[in-house]
Structure 1
Amino acid sequence: MNEKKTPVILMVEDNEHVRALNCSVLERAGYRVLTAKSLAETRRILAGKPGISLVVLDILLPDGNGLAFISELRQSTQAPVLLLSSRRDYEDIVNGLTGGADDYMTKPYRIEELLARIVGLLRRREAMCPPAEVARGPLVMDTVAQRGFLFDRDMLLQPREYAILLFLIQNEGRGISAEQLYEAVWKLPAAGNAGAVRTAVSRLRRKLAGSGYTITSGRGSGYCFEKES
């Protein structure tokens, strides 16, 4: 039960300068980056089952074609694939996207666009495949069993306490009004029901004691899940 994992990006690019630049920028953006300059290197990396979050794959590589490699890649990972190519051939784009790639960029490109596309692909993947566990320090939310654990002990959360806490964690650092919480958890109009949220949050604060996290609140700022200062 660990902290939220850093996304791992596999960068397959034979141009040394481009590979180094992309790697540097992505690492500064908070990603862990594995690099390969050929399909052979890519196969060796994938054989180690490194838990790839996303693959950035150049089409033209010294030992093969990235387009043709996608079907083989899919045997090792279902991570999103972003294709890169200096060719602006419409047929390549169509073949790539219908052949298993999730996005396509033509060279030259701005590094800001590359980052934006990576963020979008990872966000889409997370929305489609929510993690079985959401962890913050010693606090772990089991999204399958719908239970919360603190230092491996069951927090004995009531269903709505669990739903409120998970919703706040998923919106960590952002203020959520009582009305928003009520509508998200109770699935009913919030009019006049803020008291039920206050009561549930009060119980959650007690159950979070010792976790290093709390639920703050302030007039006009809503409820916010964050680290204790």
Structure 2
Amino acid sequence: MDDLKILVVDDESRMRKLVKDFLTKDGYIVLEAEDGQQALDMFYGDKEIALIILDVMMPKRDGWEVCREIRETSKVPIIMLTAKSEERDELLGFELGVDEYISKPFSPKILAARVSAILRRTNQSLANEVMEQGGIVIDKIAHSVKVDGKEIDLSYKEFELLSYFFENKGVALSREKILNNVWNYDYFGDARTIDTHVKKLRSKLGDRGEAIKTIWGMGYKFEV
């Protein structure tokens, strides 16, 4: 994880320093931006940024605008910070392609753990493996998914979730098990995160999305 660059975007200097101190201890290079426009300028100017921690409420351009623009050209992992905890804000974040969503106040240790989990999964050495199930093809090296020969655009987390379903075809998976394995940490929240991602994933897979079966009261099973 050494030397990986993380961009921390928040208009509160105290918050940036708090996050930077924790991440620097873990060996990351931390860049700071105090508003949305500065964040975009820094992101476009540095192709080595591996992850973005992005506040919602900022001057000039807010976090939603920044996320929306970055997602037009990049799948860099984004963790969204917000002082709000309303469901519609969280769902909007997932719609825009946010990988993690954390409400303030939060534990810096938990944030650091989530950063580590995302980057570990993003940068781990993957075997040259192409998996195919029921018309869906996953190429882990290219980080691409094709449905009936047509490539579809998945967020980082949607790709990881679909890969996990592939690797556990026919196995009944509880929401807790999915969270622990796909998110790779103890998730302090409810199952809405899983349900939101599954709904979005099914939609992008079209008719093939029917392979993701709901097991009422428990979780999901991938079956073709």
> TM-score interval w.r.t. the shorter chain?
0.5 to 0.7
Matched, 1:54 2:51: yes
Correspondence 1:15 to 2:19:
no
How far apart in 1 are the matches of 2:18 and 2:30? 12
Q: Distance in 1 between matches of 2:116 and 2:96?
A: 22
Distance (whole Å) between structure 2 residues aligned to residue 20 and residue 80 of structure 1: 21
- The number of aligned residues is 129
State how far apart, in whole Å, the 2-side matches of 1:54 and 1:131 are.
23
- The alpha-carbon distance between structure 1 residues 49 and 77, as it changes in their structure 2 partners (threshold 3 A), is farther
Q: 1:73 aligns with which of 70, 73, 94?
A: 70
TM-score (norm 2): 0.53
Q: Work out whether 1:108 is the aligned partner of 2:67.
A: no
Q: Is 2:9–2:32's contact at 8 Å kept on the other side of the alignment?
A: yes
CA change 1:26–1:131 in 2 (3 A) is farther
Q: Which residue of 26, 35, 38 corresponds with 2:35?
A: 38
**Contact 1:82–1:103 (CA<8 Å) still a contact in 2?**
yes
RMSD over equivalenced CA pairs, Å: 2.2
Classify 1:71/1:131 alpha carbon distance in 2 versus 1 (closer, same or farther; 3 Å). farther
**1:56 is paired with a residue of what secondary structure?**
strand
Runs of 5+ in structure 2 lacking a partner? 129-140, 142-224
Q: How does 1:49-198 map to 2 (within 5 A)?
A: 49-127=46-124, 130=126
- Aligned residue for 1:112, secondary structure, equals helix
Distance 2:97 2:79 in 1: 10
Cα 1:5/1:20, change in 2 over 3 Å = closer
Over 3 Å off, 4+ runs: 129-132
C-alpha separation in 2, matches of 1:43 and 1:69 = 7
**Secondary structure, aligned partner of 2:81:** strand
Gaps of 5+ in 1: 133-143, 145-229
C-alpha separation between the residues in 1 aligned to 2:72 and 2:49?
13
Q: Percent identity?
A: 28
The letter of the residue matching 2:110 is: E
Shift of 1:5: 5.8
Using the alignment, how far apart are the partners of 2:46 and 2:9 within structure 1? Answer: 16
DSSP 3-state at the match of 2:64: helix
Q: Which moved more, 1:4-13 or 1:26-35?
A: 4-13
3-state SS of 1:30 partner: coil
Q: Give the CA deviation at 1:37.
A: 0.6
TM-score, length-scaled by structure 1? 0.52
Give deviations 1:36-56, integer Å, cap 9, x for gaps: 010111122122124111100
Q: Secondary structure at the match of 2:101?
A: strand
Question: Are the equivalent residues in 2 in contact too, given 1:60–1:85 (CA < 8 A)?
Answer: yes
Q: Distance in 1 between matches of 2:23 and 2:122?
A: 18
